[in-house]
C-alpha cells in the first residue's frame, strides 16, 4: 500500500534483523537468504514499490498487499520464482540466540527465506526498507529504516519409519512318495471290505472241498 512521503529520506540505508522463535531445536547456524525483489519510487507525495523486472511474470503487485494473507501468498509466489530469476541473495547465519542482522541494506522490498535446517521451517516473508512506523492505534507516524522480523516457524516433522514387510517363505510341494506315506487309511472303504470278503469265501470253499474228497476216499475203501 502506498505511504505518504513526509519525512521520507530516499538516500538513507537501513537494516534487517531476523529473530527466530525458540522451538526447542537449537537456534544457532540457521541460514537465511534475503532477496531484493522491489525498489521504491515517489509519486504524488507517496512512496510506491516496483517489482524487479526478473519477477514481473509472477503478477505480484507490491502496492496491493493489504492483508497478512496477501503478503504470505505473494511471498510464496516469489519464493518459487527467485531461483529461476538468477537473483543473488544476501546470506547470513543466526547466532546462539537465533538472531542474524543484515546491515547497510539499500531501500527496497526484500524476500526472506530460510534454507533447510534441523531447527525447523520458517515461512517466507516480505519486508520493506523503510517500513512504516505505526502508533498503538495502527496509524502511521513515520518511517522505520531498521526493520525487525520474527518469521512464523514450526518444528521439523518427525520422520516416519516404514514397518518392514514380511516376506512369505517358499512354497514346499510334497513329493508323490510323501503324499502316499501321509495319506490317511480310509475306514469303511467298500473296496477293501469286498476284497477281504472274497478271500474268506474262497478259503471256506477250499476247506469244504478237502473234506468232501477225504470222505469219498474213505467210502471207496
Model pTM greater than 0.85? no
Q: 76-116: per-residue pLDDT in tens?
A: 999 999 988 989 999 999 999 999 999 999 999 999 999 98
CATH class of 3-154: mainly beta
d(CA 125, CA 150): 9
Q: 167-178: per-residue pLDDT in tens?
A: 666 666 665 555
Which one has a higher pLDDT value, 218 or 22?
Answer: 22
Check pLDDT > 80 for residue 144.
yes
Q: What is the pLDDT of residue 216?
A: 45
Dihedral sign, Cα of residue 139, residue 112, residue 152, residue 145: negative
Q: Identify the residue whose cell numbers are 525498489.
A: 39
d(CA 118, CA 29): 10
Cell output for 185: 487309511
Ranges 83-97, 130-144, 175-189, most confident: 83-97
Amino acid at each position: 500500500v502506498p505511504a505518504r512521503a513526509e519525512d521520507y529520506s530516499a538516500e538513507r540505508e537501513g537494516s534487517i534483523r531476523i529473530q527466530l522463535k525458540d522451538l526447542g531445536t537449537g537456534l544457532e547456524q540457521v541460514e537465511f537468504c534475503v532477496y531484493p525483489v522491489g525498489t521504491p519510487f515517489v509519486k504524488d507525495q507517496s512512496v510506491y514499490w516496483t517489482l524487479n523486472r526478473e519477477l514481473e511474470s509472477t503478477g505480484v503487485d507490491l502496492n496491493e498487499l493489504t492483508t497478512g494473507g496477501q503478503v504470505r501468498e505473494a511471498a510464496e509466489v516469489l519464493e518459487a520464482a527467485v531461483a529461476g530469476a538468477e537473483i543473488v541473495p544476501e546470506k547470513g547465519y543466526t547466532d546462539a540466540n537465533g538472531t542474524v542482522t543484515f546491515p547497510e541494506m539499500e531501500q527496497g522490498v526484500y524476500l526472506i527465506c530460510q534454507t533447510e535446517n534441523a531447527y525447523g521451517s520458517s515461512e517466507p516473508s516480505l519486508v520493506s526498507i523503510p517500513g512504516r512506523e505505526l502508533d498503538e492505534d495502527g496509524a502511521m507516524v513515520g518511517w522505520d529504516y531498521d526493520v525487525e522480523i520474527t518469521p512464523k516457524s514450526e518444528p521439523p516433522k518427525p520422520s516416519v519409519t516404514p514397518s518392514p514387510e514380511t516376506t512369505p517363505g517358499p512354497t514346499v510341494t510334497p513329493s508323490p512318495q510323501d503324499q502316499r506315506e501321509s495319506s490317511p487309511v480310509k475306514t469303511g472303504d467298500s473296496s477293501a471290505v469286498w476284497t477281504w470278503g472274497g478271500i474268506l469265501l474262497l478259503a471256506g470253499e477250499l476247506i469244504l472241498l478237502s473234506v468232501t474228497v477225504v470222505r469219498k476216499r474213505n467210502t471207496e475203501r
